[in-house]
Each structure stands twice: as C-alpha cells, then as structure tokens.
Amino acid sequence: MQISIIYSSENGHNQRMAEAVLRGCESRQGVTTHLFKISDDDFSGSRWSNDEVMTVLDKSDAIIMGSPTFMGSVSSKLKAFMEASVTRYIPETWKGKIAAGFTVSGATAGDKFNTLSTMTTFAMQHGMIWVGLGSNPFNNDEGVNATGHYYGATGRAELDEDPAVAPAASELKAGELLGARVASYVQRLAIS
C-alpha cells in the first residue's frame, strides 16, 4: 500500500507538519510512503510539471496534500500542482483514491478552512474519498485540534518563528493522527 504526501513550504513549518503526517502513515505496517516537496525545479515556465511525481501519485492508494495558507487559500505552488492534475481528471485516474490535507498558517484561524476546503473540492473533482482529522478537542487532554478544524490537520506558525518550536507539539500530534488515519483507511479498503 502506497501513500504519497505532496506539499509546499517556504519557511519550514508545513515541512514539519508533512514529516509528522509521514510518521503517522509509517506507524502502520505494510505502508510505503513518498514525500514530495514542491520546488521551483518542478516548474516549466509558469506550469507545474513533474511526470516522475505524477507517475508515483498514479500508483498511490492515498494522496495527502499540504500547503501554507497564503492569502486565505493554498499556495500558488500547490495550486499549480492541482492544475497540472487535469491530465488525470479526464481519464479519472485518481478516482477512488483516499485524499486528505493539512495546513499551517500564521493566525490561529487564519482562514485555514478555505485552504482545506479548496483541497477537498479538488479531491471531489477527482472522485477521491476525503478523510478528515477525526479528532475533536473535547475527547483528548493533549490539546489536539484545540482550534476545532475537522477537515484536516492544522497548525499555527508565524513566518519568522523557528520551525523547531512552531507548529506546536499538539498540532504535530494532529498531523501524526491524520497520517495514521489515512493509512488505516487505505488498509481497510485494501485498495491494493
């Protein structure tokens, strides 16, 4: 079973969240993971273009997206990836795959919901199955999902904060839980 995480991060905060999600995925046995950070090298002009990554995503049972919240939505890098995936939209290549998402933004709310719902809409367009966080703040004493974002894993880190301390441990824990949850659904559906 294969899970791919594709994300962008300029200042390292979403990278830490991506690594937490990866740990969660890898906490389940029998799961192979692929971690892709979108970089300038993936672009051909203004278009995202990396066939190698696309081929791995084609073979993955789940695709987890991550992005900073920039001006209330996904980063231009993740959006460019989303647009490039139109080549998979017409033939429905990703239909039935599991999808999930995460975002770290500077403010506690910060319009993160719009970032996660943009990812969700994208997944729906592809016919994918969205897996949310599945943790509410009232059923744990670790501060997981204290801000009540249910569409995915979220964190808070201002641009100049040291990624070693932000996002907080409780937010990274949410990332781990999301990764483990996605892996458990991939296993339950036994897609491959």
Ligand X SMILES: Cc1cc2nc3c(=O)[nH]c(=O)nc-3n(C[C@H](O)[C@H](O)[C@H](O)COP(=O)(O)O)c2cc1C
| C-alpha pair distances (Å), 166 with each of 40, 113, 191 | 25, 19, 35
- Sort 30 into a burial class: Cβ within 10 Å, 0-12 / 13-18 / 19+: exposed
Determine if 33 is a binding residue for ligand X (CB under 6 A): no
> What is the spatial distance between Cα 21 and Cα 172, in angstroms, rounded to a whole number?
8
62 contacts 3 by C-beta, under 8 angstroms: yes
For helices 169-189 and 13-26, give the axis angle rounded to 10 degrees. Answer: 40
Segment contacting ligand X by CB under 6 A, of 76-84, 125-133, 155-163, 168-176: 155-163
Q: Nearest approach, Cβ of 89 to ligand X (angstroms)?
A: 27
Task: Return the number of the residue (34 or 37) whose C-beta is nearest ligand X.
Answer: 37
Q: Does 101 bind ligand X (CB under 6 A)?
A: no
Tell me the window of 124-132, 137-145, 151-159, 178-186 that interacts with ligand X (CB under 6 A): 151-159
Q: Residue 105, interface with ligand X (CB under 6 A)?
A: yes
Kindly tell me which of 48 and 94 has the beta carbon lying closer to ligand X: 48
**How far, CA to CA in Å, does 60 sit from each of 99, 134, 186?**
10, 22, 10
Nearer to ligand X, 77 or 97 (CB): 77
Residue nearest ligand X (C-beta atom): 110
DSSP state of 42: G
* Residues forming the site for ligand X (CB under 6 A): 9-14, 68-72, 104-107, 110-111, 157-159
